[in-house]
Structure 1
Amino acid sequence: MLKGFRDFIMRGNVIDLAVAFVVGVAFTAVVTAIVEGIFNPLIATLFNAESLAKSMVVELPGGAKLSFGLVLAAIITFLLVAAVVYFVFVMPINKMKETQERRRKAGLPAGADAVPATELDLLTEIRDLLASRQSEDPRQTP
């Protein structure tokens, strides 16, 4: 039972997940600072309120309060966080991947301007070399 648990913990996926979680927490602090420090004050200025979350409150009979401003602020914060993540991280990474793929398909020569080969490219090349060797001398075993 403990051996199975140890094997599970020592898998690369668990370590990668832990690293991703730690980086994600740090990244959340950066995005939250951008949204709360820049975007929320701009939005509060547009609505002429000190805080969007504290505005648009409807008081019901019996003292209950509905805070539409709080819900609206949460929705806007979510959309702003998603926009920051997309435009600052996802879009540039996608552009970089597209550029690398175009260069790889164009067959650029190896050098400073060429895209580095991936592990899959190298393994495919090794497989092809071994296959060509075997076809030259069928007695050889890979």
Structure 2
Amino acid sequence: MNEKKVSVLEGFKTFLMRGNVIDLAVAVVIGAAFTQIVNSVVKGVISPLVGAFGTKDLTKYTYCLKSPCVTDPKTGEATSGIPIMWGSVLSATLTFLITATVVYFLMVLPMAKYLARRADREAAKEGAKEVVELTELEILKEIRDALVAQRGSGRDQ
């Protein structure tokens, strides 16, 4: 039973020491910080721009399913009616789209281009190695043919 505990702990240690776990943890922390930046851009820039046509707070955009919608000013909860808060959905959608756009154009696209260039360089190196190997093989064949020719000419005399 003690060996099983040791092997489980060893397996856990091996799992934690993989590079993937550390990379994932860093990505989560950076993603959380980046989300705060995007949220502040939506609240500080996008919402006021949308507010030029209505209210500055997107969460104020609501629709009442069963009229009249009355909310408690202290808690913000509906006391009557069924409010549909489509402004919150709009705000979250804008936040998502901005985040996805920035991640794609600043991280995914440049990394894809970098990896494609790297793959092209590797393919070119492999192609050059094949040419060199073929050239070396041809040279060795010529040397062999020359040695065979020398042996043949030595026997004729």
Judge same fold: TM > 0.5, yes or no.
Answer: yes
CA distance in 2, matches of 1:77, 1:133: 61
Q: Which structure 1 segments of 5+ residues have no match?
A: 105-116, 138-142
Stretches of 4+ aligned residues off by more than 4 angstroms: 92-101
Match of 1:53 among 59, 66, 72: 59
Q: If the length of structure 2 is used for normalisation, what is the TM-score?
A: 0.55
Residues 12-23 of structure 1 mapped to structure 2, 5 A cutoff: 12-23=19-30
Larger RCO (CA within 8 A; separation ≥ 6)? 2
Report the secondary structure of 2:79's partner residue. Answer: coil
1:78 aligns with 2:84: no
1:39 is displaced (CA, Å) by 1.2
Q: What one-letter code is carried by the residue in structure 2 that aligns with 1:51?
A: D
Going from structure 1 to structure 2, the CA distance change for 1:99 and 1:128 (only over 3 Å counts) comes to closer
**CA displacement 1:117-136 (0-9 Å, x = unmatched):** 52674377258627953872
Contact 2:39 2:95 in 1 (8 A): yes
Q: If the length of structure 1 is used for normalisation, what is the TM-score?
A: 0.60
Report the secondary structure of 1:63's partner residue. Answer: strand
Aligned-residue identity in percent: 24
Q: What one-letter code is carried by the residue in structure 1 that aligns with 2:91?
A: T
Moved more, 118-127 or 38-47: 118-127
1:46 is displaced (CA, Å) by 1.6
Q: What one-letter code is carried by the residue in structure 2 that aligns with 1:46?
A: F
> Of Structure 1 and Structure 2, which has the larger fraction of its residues in helix?
2
Match of 2:13 among 6, 11, 15: 6
Moved more, 117-126 or 78-87: 117-126
Contact 2:70 2:79 in 1 (8 A): yes
Going from structure 1 to structure 2, the CA distance change for 1:131 and 1:3 (only over 3 Å counts) comes to farther
Residues 62-73 of structure 1 mapped to structure 2, 5 A cutoff: 63-68=79-84, 71-73=85-87
1:97 is displaced (CA, Å) by 6.5
1:32 aligns with 2:46: no
Report the secondary structure of 2:96's partner residue. Answer: helix
